[in-house]
Amino acid sequence: MEFSLAPLRVSVETSIVATAITFFLGLAAANWRIRTSGRRGPVMDALFIVPLALPPTVVGYLLLLLLGRGSPLGRALESLGFQVLFSWPATVIAATVVAFPLMYLSARGALEQVNPSFLHAARTLGASEWRAFWKVALPLAWPGVIAGTILAFARALGEFGATLMIAGNIPGKTQTLPIAIFFAAEAGNMRQALAWVLITLGIASVALVAFNTWGRRRRGTLSGTRG
């Protein structure tokens, strides 16, 4: 059987796009959450984190209900000429939904560690909420944000259940690395499955090593500055 690199391409493209979307959505949600008090806070947390607690197939089923032809959103998208289900955008949607909680939790934890007096000082000097966030809070929370980004990328790269539910297994289009591994193993092609496993492991390892190296250099720079 011919060995194709298409699943690698689909997975990398999907993970990069999903991580970029998750980065901004996670930051926005985390910033909104830390400024929200009262009963709405726990409700928001539950809503943002629930994809992490649910099995991926359940997430995929809920996305099918949301985007299917029987739903108002599905009918609206179809009337506009958008085919979402069983297309490449569906792989991005699935990866984004399952990776979002990791980005949200990491960003929220990092932003909560920022000293509020710094933000208050920025506002006193005339900075808007948006400028105070991007120029003060985000740089201080950057290590945690980067950690969340790496985790989100790794989660998007490994997404299987929800992707299979709403995107299917279309070679060269929606067949990601995890799906290729599953169907290769199911067909008894263990060598090909092992090759995809090693490639997936290699990508995840490179990302984690790069993050750890960056973290050590940053800590060294901060220690030198303080010294």
To the nearest 5 percent, what fractions of the chain are helix, strand and coil?
80, 0, 20
**Residue 74 placed within a domain:** yes
List the helix and strand counts (H, then E) for the chain. 11, 0
**Residue 142 placed within a domain:** yes
**Residue 193 placed within a domain:** no
Read off the pLDDT of residues 100-113 as tens digits, 9 standing for 90 and up.
999 999 999 999 88
Distance CA(183)–CA(35), nearest Å, equals: 46
**Residue 11 placed within a domain:** yes
Count how many domains the chain has: 1
Read off the pLDDT of residues 49-78 as tens digits, 9 standing for 90 and up.
999 989 999 999 999 999 888 888 888 887
**Residue 55 placed within a domain:** yes
pTM score of the predicted model:
0.86
Average pLDDT on 83-112 reads 93
Question: What residue numbers bound the domain in which 56 lies?
Answer: 6-175
Contact (Cβ atoms closer than 8 angstroms) between residue 107 and residue 27:
yes
Q: 32-41: which pairs have CB atoms within 8 A and are 24 or more residues apart?
A: 33/104, 33/108, 34/108, 34/111, 34/112
Confidence of residue 84 (pLDDT cuts 50, 70, 90): confident
CATH of the domain at 130: 1.10.3720.10
Residue 190, CB-side half-sphere exposure with 13 Å CA sphere: 0
